[in-house]
Chains A and B, each alone.
Chain A
């Protein structure tokens, strides 16, 4: 009974490359959330997805960032043309329902842009 699985755990990209972060939610969970933790800052909400739909992307940067949660397979957070400021830990969480249900977090993907 695996929890939220994120991969890779560590990702190094050169400036201008693309980063793809994967998140497999807890089995049976259809709600996925992505958070970003910048160095010395707290976690900030990025996007909330429910199978095949983006529900709330108010925390996503307007450019270069996109997220999807297809009917089959993991949720993907995609960052195009990465810059040094994208270096952070990206956490994914999943839950069974909507508001007021417990979210379970993955171990995060640490992205380093060199």
Chain B
């Protein structure tokens, strides 16, 4: 059964710092991996989607990498801003047409 783990569970950084969020999954038979952002009391916003054949995706200050063989992904956020404060979730899609989510990393960027 697929299990997704995110480390750390919470992270506080000063504004401007670069940071890395980690995601690991137990079954490498995935279609893709997505990173989402969840703001308090709100829904999910998809940030980046990496297909299983890809190694990374970039969008603005965000860069996500995928190492399928080792079951790991990282989300790199450059020059963090207070507006980046949110919970970041990673999810992998398996052939069962559903997403398996990690429990998230709660990021706080301190002005």
Q: Please give the residue numbers on chain B whose beta carbons come within 8 Å of chain A beta carbons, in ascending order.
A: 4, 31-32, 34, 36, 41-46, 49, 51, 89, 91, 93, 95-104
CA distance A104 to B25 in the complex (A): 22
The 3 closest A-B pairs by CB, nearest first: A107-B43, A42-B103, A105-B44
Chain A, residues 14-35, CB within 8 Å of chain B (1/0): the string is 0000000000000000010101
| Distance between B51 CB and nearest chain A CB, rounded to angstroms | 7
In the complex with contacts A91-B43, A99-B93, A107-B43, A45-B31 CB distance below 8 A: no
Cβ–Cβ < 8 Å partners of A106 in chain B: 43
In the complex with contacts A45-B98, A56-B96, A56-B98, A100-B32 CB distance below 8 A: yes
Task: Give the A-B contact count at a CB cut-off of 8 A.
Answer: 60
Cβ–Cβ < 8 Å partners of B4 in chain A: 42
Cβ–Cβ contact B97 & A99, under 8 A: yes
Pick 17 A–B contacts, CB within 8 A, sort by A. Answer: A31-B97, A33-B98, A42-B4, A42-B104, A43-B99, A45-B100, A48-B98, A91-B43, A91-B44, A99-B31, A99-B95, A100-B31, A100-B32, A102-B34, A104-B46, A105-B44, A105-B45
Cβ–Cβ < 8 Å partners of B99 in chain A: 33, 35, 43, 45, 93, 103
Cβ–Cβ < 8 Å partners of B101 in chain A: 35, 42-44
Cβ–Cβ < 8 Å partners of B34 in chain A: 102
CA distance A100 to B45 in the complex (A): 17
Cβ–Cβ contact B46 & A102, under 8 A: yes
Query: Which among A33, A105, A107 is the interface contact of B46 at CB below 8 angstroms?
Result: A105
CA distance A43 to B102 in the complex (A): 8
In the complex with contacts A91-B43, A105-B46, A106-B43, A98-B97 CB distance below 8 A: yes
- Given pairs A104-B46, A105-B36, 4 additional interface contacts (CB within 8 A): A41-B103, A99-B93, A105-B46, A108-B43
